[in-house]
Amino acid sequence: MNDTMLTYQVKDNLIHSLHPLTTLSYVSVITILSLIFYHPLYLAALLLPAALVIVSSGHYKEWSIYLKLSVSLIILIVVLNMLFSREGETVLFSLQLYSGMAPINLSLEALGFAAGMGLRLLVIITAFCLYSQAIDPDRMLRAVAGLGKGKTALAIILSTRLLPQFLRDFRRIMEISQCRGVDPYKGNLWQRTCRLKPVISVLFSSSLEQALELAESMYARGYGSGARSQRQADLWRPRDFLILLALIIAFFCGIRAYGQGWSNFAYYPHLNWEFSGSGILTLMTLSLAIPSVLNWGCKRSNSFLSKI
């Protein structure tokens, strides 16, 4: 796993200058709508603007790593669903593994359903890629702590922040072990497990030391010693309100499409290619694309960024 997948990197663009709760709201809307949509076109309408935001914010390289990991999961979903689903009526071909065994019918409907669920998974992974790359954990901690959820936010933010450090330490310890002539990847399962024991011990000690240093740092900064100061580090700007308005429009468009049944899709027993609600779909997609449009506008004109 690449460290850049989980590590926040500062970029000089509008997406990174947004209030963390604005970006969190964007990720939440994408995720919620992806969980209630079944129609491939509606799922694609969520993926497209989310991908545009990631690319415009300069995180295409990190997103491509997520995509490579997603491909294997999608292929697994397709294979398992086609092998074990028996509800489709459009048989593409039959597979007989053993003589005397009933043939396994691989249907078009099973392939379509697996592809739709794979597309949903891709939308969710893209949303969480945006969360990990575009939101500063420290800023998110301050923003959520200001809502009165300090302890819960602290646990969540520290978990997302310390995981990349944990992976880097694990890789560093493994490289040191290999330099000393101990290859933990050779041998059978029991031998590899035995070689990993000292690695886990060192990693555990290193994690305890980092936890102690973090606790000392928080104590030195007065965490938990009294009421928080009211200094507002993250300001709400016009760009935040504009994007939040667009998110409200997109969310209600998605809810209306769901309520009218336009976002549903019948995979079984036959694929139903009916499509309705093109106007709602277009409005939802354009609303979700507002952050990327504003970001590209700011790249072309610095004065535009100062105005919003």
AA identity, residue 25 = S
Residue 237 sits at φ, ψ, to 5 deg, of -110, 170
Task: Please report the pLDDT score of residue 224 as a whole number.
Answer: 63
Q: Specify the pLDDT at position 246.
A: 96
Residue 265's alpha-carbon distances to 38, 81, 116, 274, 278, in angstroms, are 5, 17, 9, 8, 15
Closest to 44 in 3D by CA, of 58, 55, 57, 30: 30
Going by the DSSP 8-state scheme, the letter that residue 3 receives in this structure is: G
Whole-angstrom Cα distance, residue 21 to residue 241?
11
User: In this predicted structure, what is the pLDDT of residue 106?
Assistant: 78
Measure the CA–CA gap between 238 and 59, rounded to whole angstroms.
24
Q: For 81-92, what is each residue's pLDDT tens digit? A: 888 877 777 877
User: What sign has the CA pseudo-torsion 134, 138, 142, 148?
Assistant: positive
Number of H helices, E strands in the chain: 12, 2
Contacts of 76 (CB under 8 A, 6+ apart): none
Question: What are the tens digits of pLDDT across the range 135-194?
Answer: 887 787 777 766 555 566 667 667 766 777 777 788 888 888 778 777 777 777 777 777
Which pLDDT value is given to residue 252? 96
The amino acid that residue 151 corresponds to is K
How far is the C-alpha of 290 from the C-alpha of 308, rounded, in Å? 13
Q: Is 26 exposed, middle or buried (0-12, 13-18, 19+ CB in 10 A)?
A: buried
The DSSP letter of residue 227 is P
Tell me how far apart the terminal alpha carbons of the chain are, to the nearest angstrom: 37
Q: Find, among 43, 17, 37, the residue nearest to 259 by Cα.
A: 37
Alpha-carbon dihedral sign for residues 177, 181, 182, 185: positive
Residues 6+ apart with CB under 8 A from 308: 237, 238, 239, 242, 294, 298
Point out the residues of the chain with pLDDT beneath 50.
Answer: none
Among 35, 33, 37, 41, residue whose Cα is nearest residue 274 = 41
Residue 5 per-residue DSSP state: G
pLDDT confidence of residue 80: 87
Q: Kindly state the helix (H) or strand (E) to which residue 145 belongs, with its residue range.
A: helix 137-145
Q: Cα(74)–Cα(169) distance, rounded to whole angstroms?
A: 30
Residue 151: half-sphere exposure toward Cβ, Cα within 13 Å = 1
Distance, in Å, from the CA atom of 282 to the CA atom of 81, rounded to the nearest integer, reads 31
> Residue 205: what pLDDT?
83
What pLDDT, on a 0 to 100 scale, did the predictor assign at position 58?
Answer: 87
